[in-house]
Amino acid sequence: MPSPTSILSLFLLVLAATTVSSTDQLIQMFPKQHIVGAEGDTKCESWKFSIEVNNAGTWYSIPQPCIEFVRTYIDTGRYLADSRNAAAFSLTFARSVKVGDGKGMDAWIFDVDETLLSNMPYYKATGFGTEPYNVTSYNEWVETGLAPALPATLSVYKWVKKLGFKIFILTGRPVSQSAITAQNLIDAGYSGWEKLILRGPEDEGKKATVFKSEKRAELVKQGYTIQGNTGDQWSDILGYAVAKRSFKVPNPMYYVP
């Protein structure tokens, strides 16, 4: 039997609902005129929501009106705060896994760009997409091997290693960048991974989702349980042979299909 309190709640609810039963009143319920801050910022916040939850599908560059928004998002620490929050949830999960049953087959996968390493110096210097993507200058940047670690992911990496997970680094970078990538990772503070998997000649032209799913499936075939997976792209996470838990770190700068 409903309690007197729940009957009172119900009455209040019906009253509340009655006041929003017409379209006009819906607008009153969700007043557009009360949007906080600049309309542009709200639109860019919503754009950020859509790209981060993968509603946008393939997109090629930050919309012109949102370039300043993205710069602010990164410069004011929100970018780091979002990645720290993702790291906190990753660690809570990592600690909940019973690792180290002697078999050593619990795996954690990390992506490289915008996950373990940050190419922010490159994106800052090239105007966050105000300039068209230039594969030559990007590769020159990669070849410097100077990308810093994304601090929150470095922290997750160190913890999951300490907890006994086997670490696989799975990147869409080509095998030709294998040596510089390994050196850059070491310089940025990473060590002790099981394998660094790059895109081989046989993987050329494959969508990232397919390439990464295939590589995860190989690990599963070898007997690994993919417990965790950290990436900045949905193509790092979706597909098949997916991890028990996947963690999306923010990336409002570019999309990899």
Q: Does 218 bind a second copy (CB under 8 A)?
A: no
Residue 109: strand pairing partners: 168, 229
- Cβ closer to a second copy: 75 or 218? 75
- Cβ closer to a second copy: 35 or 200? 35
Residues 4-23 close enough to bind a second copy by CB under 8 A: 6, 9-10, 12-14, 16-18, 20-21, 23
Going along 43-201, which residue ranges are E strands? 106-110, 166-174, 195-199
Phi and psi, residue 249, nearest 5°: -90, 155
Q: Does 3 bind a second copy (CB under 8 A)?
A: yes
User: 8 is written with which tokens?
Assistant: 């009172």
To a second copy, the closest distance from the beta carbon of 71 in angstroms equals 12
Residue 219's CB is within 10 A of a number of other CB atoms, namely: 21
Stretch that binds a second copy, among 28-36, 103-111, 202-210, 216-224 (CB under 8 A): 28-36
Residues 106-135 close enough to bind a second copy by CB under 8 A: 120-122, 124-126, 134
Instruction: Count CA within 13 A, CB hemisphere, residue 82.
Output: 19
Q: Does 28 bind a second copy (CB under 8 A)?
A: no
Phi and psi, residue 231, nearest 5°: -155, 165
Residues 68-107 close enough to bind a second copy by CB under 8 A: 72, 74-82, 84-86, 88-90, 93
8 A C-beta contact, residue 237 and residue 248: yes
- Cβ closer to a second copy: 24 or 101? 24
8 A C-beta contact, residue 91 and residue 159: yes
Q: Torsion angle of alpha carbons 171, 174, 176, 177, nearest 10°? A: -40
To a second copy, the closest distance from the beta carbon of 58 in angstroms equals 10
User: 242 is written with which tokens?
Assistant: 């997916």
- Cβ closer to a second copy: 63 or 164? 63
Which of 54, 61, 178, 225 lies at the binding interface for a second copy (CB under 8 A)?
54
Type of residue numbered 28: Q
- Cβ closer to a second copy: 104 or 143? 143
To a second copy, the closest distance from the beta carbon of 102 in angstroms equals 27
Q: Does 186 bind a second copy (CB under 8 A)?
A: no
Which of 4, 98, 136, 204 lies at the binding interface for a second copy (CB under 8 A)?
136
User: 18 is written with which tokens?
Assistant: 């009655």
Stretch that binds a second copy, among 100-108, 148-156, 174-182, 209-217 (CB under 8 A): 148-156
Which of 28, 35, 133, 200 lies at the binding interface for a second copy (CB under 8 A)?
35
User: 104 is written with which tokens?
Assistant: 């050593």
CA distance readout (Å), 151 to 26, 84, 170: 43, 8, 19
